[in-house]
Structure 1
Amino acid sequence: MNEFSIGILYIVPTPIGNLRDITHRALEMLKKVDIIAAENIRHTNILLQHFNIKNHLILMNKDNEKKQSDNLIQKLKKGKKIALVSNAGTPIINDPGGLLVKKCHFFNIKVIPLPGPCAAITALSASGIISNRFCYEGFLPSKKKPRCDLLYSLRKETRTIIFYESKHRILESIEDIIKQIDQNRHIVIAREITKKWESIYRAKANLMLQWLKTDKYRYKGEIVIILDGFKKLKTQDISEKTFNTFLMLRKFLSLKTSVLITSQIHEINKNILYQYVIKKESDKII
């Protein structure tokens, strides 16, 4: 059966920066469908004009998603073929469209996803951080308390964690990662992926903050944060020299302060050192 003989919703990824990243199949769908449902009509028109594509666009964004989803379902029931696109990248990933897809499944309307660009996956592939197990958390909350609460809840997440962040909050977010998770956790900042000013930089959280602060252009544009997962305690991570430093400080200071200062002197994870010390105490070694 010809795939255009029944109503179908196509999920069509578009370039996240470099227009040459669009696939031949995506261009074919944008030409052949009856309607393109776009998150931003003006933005999508730029793409269509670049490839000399003329088609009917309708707006579907976060503000009108519920109403427009019902409208599009009716058109799909009548046999229309619709392409769903976001401003950039793979639709629905942190963009509107999820409700429409859910309704399509409810009404047994076929949904065909096309593969294509995604900033999170593209950045992960170049991060140098473990990529076989990861979780995507979308944009970090804009307000400090919800952001800190989320980060604290992820402090022992062993999978690599991916966030999106804006240039306006990136410094605050890195500061909160340092406070709520670990100053020594490795971070990759991938900025403006596939665009002219693309940059990918990796460092421990505290050093990343310093690096960003030295040049405001290092956090301009669209940003992906790749955060290394929590590493479970390994005895060999604590050297004899490190432990001796802790014992010396512990004679004069509290446990918490001794751990903090020792972790800063030897640039190790304070949580790992703390767990190591507690284990030693439980074993009645100290």
Structure 2
Amino acid sequence: MKTNERLIEALLAMSAGVGVLTTAGILWILVVEAVHFFQQVPLSAFLTDTQWTPLFADKHFGILPLVAGTLLTTAVAVAVALPLGLTIAVYLNEYVAPALRNTLKPLLEVLAAVPTVVYGFFALTQVTPFLQRLVPGLAGFNALSAGLVMGIMILPLVSSLSEDALGAVPRSLREASYAMGATRLQTAFRVVVPAASSGVTVSVVLAISRAVGETMIVAIAAGQEPRLTANPLVPIETITTYIVQVSSGDVAYGTLEYNTIFAAGITLFVLTLGLNNVGYWFRKKYQERYE
């Protein structure tokens, strides 16, 4: 028995170590390659320049336009996925019979299995023409349609994880709310959702991280024009889109232009790491409040 337990512990430790070593290896490659870039481009210019044109004759290496495009499409996606996902989670957990919930939830999660390239072409060929009839001046490539479709893509992530968090709230809290005269809707949004706020926060942070790292939707529907703007009606470029653009093979390996993808990659890594840490902090804060 002890031998079996030690073997299981070793396998679990090995599994955890693979994840840690993989992350460390990715970070090591990014750092080593990014050093070559920052040996030629000052970090101050990288963080403060408002233009990103490393493939043009007049070269600028300011990452802010790419970060702005990434955050803009992510903000639109979260604005769609958060209210819809939370509403769906409340509906599935508080209003639907268990048998029907077990049918609807897997059907909703099928959205997560749709290839992102399909979402991208759907945004370009269906959503953008529809929005152009509603929004005058909307460009053919824009952050709005890409963000809306990205919100649909991450919707199952928010709704499924939020529903699991709502389901973990003790039944006694609901019964106490009903005893105080609250309706089912009041109980759901004023008692159950706050009690499950840590789990809901985790679902939102994971959805944001997923949206920040999305590539195909923004590459197809948002355009490839890096600009420092908060206007979702114009073409933009995200960090992932630029990495795909340079990695297509048109830029020679080892050049300064090629090394920009590692500088952009480490920026994306730091951005995602920061979002995850913020989510962890919020989760711990709400856990301490409601424990």
TM-score after normalising by structure 2: 0.21
Q: Looking at CA atoms only, which structure, 1 or 2, has the larger radius of gyration?
A: 1
Say which structure is richer in strand: 1
Pick the structure with more helix per residue: 2
Higher relative contact order (CA 8 A, sep 6+): 2
